[in-house]
Amino acid sequence: MAEIVLGIATSHSPQLRIAPAQWHLLIEKDQKDPRFDYQQLLRHANPALGKELTEDVFQKKYQACQNALAALKEKLAAARPDVAIVIGDDQHEQFFEENMPMFSIYYNETVEQKVRAAHGRASWWNVAAAHPDEVQKVSPAHPELARHLIKALIAKGFDIATSNKLRSQIGVGHAYTFVINHILAGDSMPIVPMVPLSINAFFPPNQPLPGRCYDLGKALAEAVKSWRRMSLDGLLQQDREKLSRLPLERLMVLGTGEILNWITAAGAMEHLHPTLLNYVPCYRTPAGTGCAMGFMEWN
Please say whether the beta carbons of 295 and 274 come within 8 A.
no
Reported as a single tens digit per residue, the pLDDT across 234-292 is 333 445 666 665 655 555 555 666 777 777 877 888 888 888 888 888 888 877 777 77
Q: What is the pLDDT of residue 117?
A: 40
CATH homologous superfamily for the domain 4-33+44-298: LigB-like (3.40.830.10)
H or E element in which residue 26 lies: helix 24-32
Q: Which has the closest alpha carbon to 98: 206, 231, 222, 215?
A: 206
CA distance linking residue 285 with residue 288, whole number of Å? 6
Task: Of 135-149, 150-164, 208-222, give the lowest mean pLDDT range.
Answer: 135-149
- The dihedrals phi and psi of 105, each to the nearest 5 degrees, come to -120, 135
Reported as a single tens digit per residue, the pLDDT across 188-200 is 788 899 999 999 9
Q: What is the pTM of this model?
A: 0.72
Q: Would you tell me how many other CB atoms lie within 10 Å of the CB of residue 103?
A: 21
Question: Residue 135's pLDDT band (boundaries 50, 70, 90)?
Answer: low
Domain boundaries, the chain: 4-33+44-298
Question: Residue 8's pLDDT band (boundaries 50, 70, 90)?
Answer: very high
Q: Would you tell me how many other CB atoms lie within 10 Å of the CB of residue 268?
A: 29
